[in-house]
Amino acid sequence: MSKEFHHVTVLLHETIDMLDVKPDGIYVDATLGGAGHSEYLLTKLNESGHLYAFDQDQHAIENAKIRLAPFIEKGMVTFIKDNFRHLKERLNDLGVTEIDGICYDLGVSSPQLDERERGFSYKKDAPLDMRMNQEASLTAYEVVNSYDYHDLVRIFSNMERINFPSKLHGKLSKHEQLNRLKQRLN
C-alpha cells in the first residue's frame, strides 16, 4: 500500500486479557483495523489456535497482512473482508460453529480520519465519502444530497454524538427547502 496504516490501539491489554485466551482457542477480531488487538491476541495463541479477522476496509486488511505476516505463515489467521454484521454467516461458511472469544473495537480508525480522500473528517477539504468499504457504491455525499428531509432527520437523530436539535435541524430544513425548489424548477 502506498500509505502506512498506523493506528494506536486503545485498551489493548485490557481488552484481550479480559478474553482469558486459551492457547489453542478460536477467536474473532470483528473490527481488524490496524490489527493491534489481533497481533496481541495471536501472541497468546499456539499454532493450534486461530484468529478470524473481519474488516470491510481492504486497505486495513492489506496492511494487517504485513503486520501479522509471521502468524499468517503459520496458518493462524483468516481474513474476512466483510462487515461484522455478517459474522455468523461468514464463519458458518468456513465451518466455524463455535468460538472462544470475540473482540470489537468500534468506530473509525485513525488512518480513515487522516486520509483526506476517505472523506471522514470535516477538518479536511475533501469530498464527503465516509465509506468503510471503498467498493460500496453509496457515499455520504449522495445521502446528504439525495435523501429527503425526513430520512435525514431519522438518520441523524439515531447518531449519539450529534447535537441534533440545534444547528443540524436548521441545516436540514434549508436542505429540504432547496430540494423542493429544485423539484419545482425541473
Decide if pLDDT at 163 tops 60: no
Q: Which has more pLDDT, 9 or 12? A: 12
Domain 12-110: state its class.
alpha beta
What's the pTM? Answer: 0.70
**Per-residue pLDDT tens over the stretch 107-156:** 766 666 667 776 676 676 778 788 777 888 898 888 888 888 788 878 77
- Residue 106's alpha-carbon distances to 33, 43, 111, 159, 162, in angstroms, are 10, 22, 14, 14, 17
Query: What whole-number distance in Å separates Cα of residue 37 and Cα of residue 42?
Result: 9
The domain spans of the chain are 12-110, 122-185
Cell numbers 477467536 correspond to: 27
Residue 164 confidence (pLDDT): 52
Which residue intervals of the chain are DSSP H helices? 12-17, 36-43, 58-67, 69-73, 87-93, 110-114, 140-146, 149-157, 169-185
pLDDT tens digits for range 32-80: 989 999 999 999 999 999 999 999 989 899 999 999 999 999 999 999 9
pLDDT above 70 coverage of the chain, percent: 75
Cα separation of the two ends of the chain: 45
For residue 18 the three cell numbers come to 479480559
